[in-house]
């Protein structure tokens, strides 16, 4: 449907040749987060089996809930792992880590093999690391979501995360684990084998980022043209000269403080056309799928209380629109219900 040769992109560019297409950043980042070394992947699969054993049986679910209530636990149930829900890895592993003591009692009473996993320090250490790293990935994923996101914000966040990965690898090699919250709560320090696995996993994450975001670049002066050295820009394009002019323009400096980057460059299009011609197209790129906002709104409207399969069009339009409805005028057009 989105093919660039005969799909949606081709039809759009036939009408507007200057249109730019970019694959969803959130989707690409979710693909990066899937990479795992064999032993960590085995630990994750074991976690999924534990959750499924408890959740797929109504009896086990009720018994585990009663056990958690007797223990006074913060949670009374586990969370399913779903591959299509990108945040479920972090939520599932963290919930299981927080309920590991209750699960150990539960499986001890049942004399199940999962008891051995929960008694194994290496398994618990791997589980703690997975909870921490998936939590960091989820936090970055959520920061990508929201209205009016531009490619420059995504690039800066991805660059910062890549630097964090380098820092974390150096810390782990020096046996410093303070950046992993749950891993540091364990009594025993991670083994050398686990440290090597963590370094290997972080290096794989960085390699995946480079693989899925090879073409992510933007003009250096988009966010702040007043802090860029004109000498670093291409010669002969007019960008160097216009950068010098705009950096000496006090009106432009005031405008930059008051406006968003997109509004700023649109207002500067007549005064500095070369700079604006490079900046505006990149600021117009929204590297995420807006359909997810509509899907979330639809799921909120289509609750169990409704007996219609499809949500009414007017309700959905009000849910996704940013325009405030004029309630008083809408009420005037409706006839009051006469008394019976």
User: pLDDT digits over 108-123, tens only?
Assistant: 988 888 889 899 899 9
Q: How far apart are CA 178 and CA 34, in angstroms?
A: 24
Any domain includes 111: yes
Q: How far apart are CA 124 and CA 285, in angstroms?
A: 43
Give Rg (Cα) of the chain.
26
Q: Are residues 171 and 234 in the same domain?
A: no
> Are 246 and 225 in contact, with CB atoms under 8 Å apart?
yes
Q: Are residues 196 and 250 in the same domain?
A: no
Look at 320 and 112; give whichever has higher pLDDT: 112
Q: How far apart are CA 171 and CA 93, in angstroms?
A: 23
- Last residue of one domain, picked from the residues 257, 283, 309: 283
pTM assigned to the model = 0.77
- Last residue of one domain, picked from the residues 241, 262, 283: 283
| Mean pLDDT for the stretch of residues 314-336 | 76
- Last residue of one domain, picked from the residues 212, 246, 268: 212
Q: Are residues 147 and 252 in the same domain?
A: no
Tokens of 288: 């995420």
Query: Coil, strand, or helix at residue 309?
Result: coil
Q: Are residues 136 and 232 in the same domain?
A: no
Q: How many residues does the chain have?
A: 340
Q: What is the pLDDT of residues 1-60, one digit of tens each?
A: 566 677 888 888 888 887 777 777 788 888 888 889 999 999 999 999 999 999 988 999
> Quick one: pLDDT band at residue 308, thresholds 50, 70, 90?
low
Q: Are residues 104 and 34 in the same domain?
A: yes
> Quick one: pLDDT band at residue 163, thresholds 50, 70, 90?
very high
Any domain includes 320: no
Domain of 274? 225-283
Any domain includes 3: no
> Are 85 and 130 in contact, with CB atoms under 8 Å apart?
no
Question: Could you give the number of structural domains in the chain?
Answer: 2
Q: Are residues 178 and 263 in the same domain?
A: no
CA–CA distance from 153 to each of 139, 149, 187, 261, 263 (Å)? 15, 7, 39, 11, 16
Tokens of 76: 């009374």
74: pLDDT strictly greater than 70? yes
Any domain includes 21: no
Q: Are residues 176 and 147 in the same domain?
A: yes
Q: Are residues 123 and 267 in the same domain?
A: no
Tokens of 38: 């064999």
- Quick one: which of 33, 62, 41 has its CA closest to 158? 33
Q: Are residues 36 and 177 in the same domain?
A: yes
User: What is the pLDDT, as a whole number, of residue 195?
Assistant: 93
> Quick one: pLDDT band at residue 218, thresholds 50, 70, 90?
low
């Amino acid at each position: 449907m989105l093919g660039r040769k005969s799909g949606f992109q081709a039809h759009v560019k036939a009408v507007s040749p200057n249109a730019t297409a970019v694959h969803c950043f959130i989707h690409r980042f979710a693909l990066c987060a899937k990479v795992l070394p064999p032993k960590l992947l085995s630990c994750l699969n074991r976690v999924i089996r534990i959750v499924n054993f408890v959740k797929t049986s109504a009896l086990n679910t009720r018994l585990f809930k009663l056990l958690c209530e007797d223990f006074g636990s913060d949670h009374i149930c586990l969370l399913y792992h779903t591959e299509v829900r990108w945040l479920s890895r972090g939520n599932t592993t963290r919930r299981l880590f927080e309920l590991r003591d209750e699960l150990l009692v539960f499986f001890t009473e049942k004399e199940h093999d999962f008891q051995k996993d929960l008694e194994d320090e290496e398994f618990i250490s791997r589980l703690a690391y997975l909870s921490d790293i998936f939590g960091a990935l989820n936090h970055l994923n959520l920061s990508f979501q929201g209205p009016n996101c531009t490619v420059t914000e995504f690039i800066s966040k991805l660059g910062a995360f890549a630097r964090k990965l380098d820092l974390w690898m150096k810390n782990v090699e020096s046996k410093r684990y303070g950046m992993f919250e749950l891993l540091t709560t364990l009594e025993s320090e991670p083994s050398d084998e686990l440290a090597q696995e963590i370094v290997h996993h972080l290096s794989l994450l960085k390699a995946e980022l480079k693989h899925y975001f090879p073409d992510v670049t933007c003009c250096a002066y988009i966010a702040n043209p007043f802090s860029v050295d004109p000498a670093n820009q291409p010669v002969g394009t007019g960008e160097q000269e216009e950068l010098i002019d705009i950096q000496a323009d006090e009106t432009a400096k005031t405008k930059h403080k008051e406006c968003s980057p997109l509004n700023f460059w649109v207002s500067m299009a007549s005064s500095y056309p070369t700079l604006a011609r490079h900046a505006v197209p990149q600021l117009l790129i929204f590297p995420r799928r807006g359909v997810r906002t509509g899907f979330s709104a639809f799921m909120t409207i289509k609750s169990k209380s409704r007996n219609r399969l499809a949500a009414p069009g007017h309700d959905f339009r009000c849910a996704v629109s940013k325009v405030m409805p004029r309630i008083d005028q809408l009420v005037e057009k409706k006839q009051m219900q006469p008394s019976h």
